Amino acid sequence: MARINQEKCVGCKICQTYCTVDAIGYVDSAEKCEIDPGLCVECYVCLRQKVCPKDAIEPVELDSFYKQFQHVISDPVENHGVTGVTGRGTEEVKTNDVSGRVRRGEVGVCIDMGRPGMGVYLRDAEKVAMACAKAGVELAPAEHTPLAALMTDLATGKLADDCLNFRLLSVIIEGKCREGELSGVLKALKTVEKEIDTVFSLGLILRVDENGMNPTLGCLDELGIAQPHRGKVNVGLGKPLSLA
Partner 1 sequence: MTHSLHRSGDIDSQKRDFNWFMYQTKGVNDKNIKDKALEFIAAAEAVGSENWGDVKTGPITQYPSAEIREKISDKSRIRGVFTRREQVVAFLKRIKEKDLGQSVVITGILSEVLPACKEAGVTPHSVNYSLGVWGKKDNLPDDITLSITTMCGHHMIPPKFVKHVMKQVEKRKLTPEAGAIKLANFCYCGIFNQVRCADIIRKATNAL
Within 27-56, which residues bind partner 1 (CB under 8 A)? 43, 45, 48-49
- Residue 7 CB, shortest distance to partner 1, in Å, is 25
Measured CA distances, 138 to 110, 130, 237 (Å)? 12, 11, 28
Which position among 12, 142, 214, 219 is part of the footprint of partner 1 (CB under 8 A)?
A: 214
Among 4, 56, 71, 97, interactor with partner 1 by CB under 8 A: 97
Phi (first) and psi of residue 46, to 5 degrees: -65, -35
* Residues 143-182, interacting with partner 1 (CB under 8 A): 169-170, 172
132 binds partner 1 (CB under 8 A): no
* Among 8, 12, 18, 156, interactor with partner 1 by CB under 8 A: 18
Is 236 near partner 1 (CB under 8 A)? yes
Q: If binding is defined by CB under 8 A, does position 239 make contact with partner 1?
A: yes
Containing H/E element for 144?
A: none
Instruction: Answer for the pair 129, 189: CB distance below 8 angstroms, yes or no.
Output: no
Count of residues touching partner 1 (by CB under 8 A): 80
Helix axes 122-134, 182-192, angle to 10 degrees: 150
Nearest by Cα to 17 from 52, 58, 56: 52
Stretch that binds partner 1, among 62-70, 130-138, 147-155, 203-211 (CB under 8 A): 203-211
| Alpha-carbon dihedral angle through residues 135, 86, 143, 178, given to the nearest 10 degrees | 30
Least distance between partner 1 and beta carbon 26 (Å): 13
Structural contact between residues 118 and 125, judged by C-beta atoms closer than 8 angstroms: no
Based on the shown chain and the rule CB under 8 A, indicate whether residue 222 belongs to the binding site for partner 1.
no
Which residues have C-beta within 8 Å of that of residue 84, sequence separation ≥ 6?
none
Closest approach of partner 1 to the CB of residue 191, in Å: 11
Residues in the chain: 244
Q: Does 241 bind partner 1 (CB under 8 A)?
A: yes
Judged by CB, which is closer to partner 1: 55, or 210?
A: 210
Task: Give the residue, chosen from 12, 98, 154, 219, that forms a contact with partner 1 under the rule CB under 8 A.
Answer: 98
Side-chain-side CA neighbours of 28 within 13 Å: the count stands at: 0
* Contact pick of 117, 161, 165, 218 for partner 1 (by CB under 8 A): 117
Specify the 3-state DSSP secondary structure of 146.
Answer: helix
